[in-house]
Structure formats: structure tokens, C-alpha cells
Amino acid sequence: MESDDERIMLLRMKEEIGRITGEILDLYEQFEKGVEMQPEHGVAARPVNAGEITRRIKRVVSLLESIARSGAPERDMADFNRLAAQIVHYGDLVGYRFVKIHILTFCSAADAVAIEDIGNGLRVDIPGIAISSFRTDIPLHI
């Protein structure tokens, strides 16, 4: 049974995940609107704020792993780690316009974490992610 402090900590982590995923989506939206690109990447458009997106994605993964350790220790977090790595590496390799579906999936799945008080403890449900590493959104205009 979790203590009140542990319950509060888990709920705060979930709230922080929601705030950070909102920031990730805002940063990506700025990029999509054409706010400052790094010219040295040529056709692989990398937003100036790519480092901010990466830092926030890593923080979300860290929070999810902490929640899993506390409330769902049997949950393997490899799918979240894999998707986070795909976003960062594919974004740098072929351009962030091609990882939109990955970013949306990552943020949606992270936001869908459910923490429920079941009387004698908390039930933590962390959804799985099933997305092909080859799935991309091809922009109609570049």
C-alpha cells in the first residue's frame, strides 16, 4: 500500500507529464509554422527548438519510468524509450516534418497514463505504444 506521500508524488508526476507534453506540442507547432530553421541541415529541416523538444521528451520518459517503478513495476518501458529515440534520431536524420505522427503518438500515450485509487493502493495503467518505426507523414509541401 502506497503512503499518502507516494500517492501525491505519483499524481504530481502525472500532472508534470501533461504540462510537458503540452509544451512539446507547442514547440512542434512553432516549428510547423516555420519559426526559425537551422540552415546547416538543408532538406532535413531541424527546428531551432529541437533541443528543447528533445529535453522535454527525455523528461517525460524519466517521469514515466518513475511512475512505472512505483505503481506498475511489471511494465516494460522499452516502447516509450524506442519511440523517444526514433523521434530524436529520425528528426535529425530526415527532418522533423517526418516524425509528426511519432510526436503525437508519444504525447497522447504519455498523457493517457491512468492513476486510480483502488482503496488499498493505487492502480497505475501505462498504455503501450504500437507504431511502426517506418511510419512517416510525408508533407505535401516542403
Q: Quick check: is 134 in a domain? A: no
Q: Quick check: is 87 in a domain? A: yes
Q: Quick check: is 138 in a domain? A: no
Q: Quick check: is 130 in a domain? A: no
Q: Quick check: is 27 in a domain? A: yes
Q: Which amino acid is at 133?
A: S
Q: Quick check: is 16 in a domain? A: yes
User: Which one-letter DSSP state was computed for residue 118?
Assistant: -
Which of 135, 114, 136, 134 is closest to 125 using CA atoms?
Answer: 114
Mean pLDDT of 103-107: 93
Q: Which three cell numbers stand for residue 119?
A: 482503496
Q: What is the domain extent for residue 44?
A: 4-125
- Do 24 and 59 contact (CB within 8 A), yes or no? no
The total of structural domains in the chain comes to: 1
- If phi > 0 it is left, if psi is from -120 to 50 it is alpha, else beta; for residue 36 that is left
Is the pTM higher than 0.85? The answer reads no
Q: Could you give the 3-state DSSP secondary structure of residue 116?
A: strand
Q: Quick check: is 40 in a domain? A: yes
pLDDT, one tens digit per residue, over 13-67 is 999 999 999 999 998 888 777 655 555 555 455 666 778 888 999 999 999 999 9
Q: Quick check: is 59 in a domain? A: yes
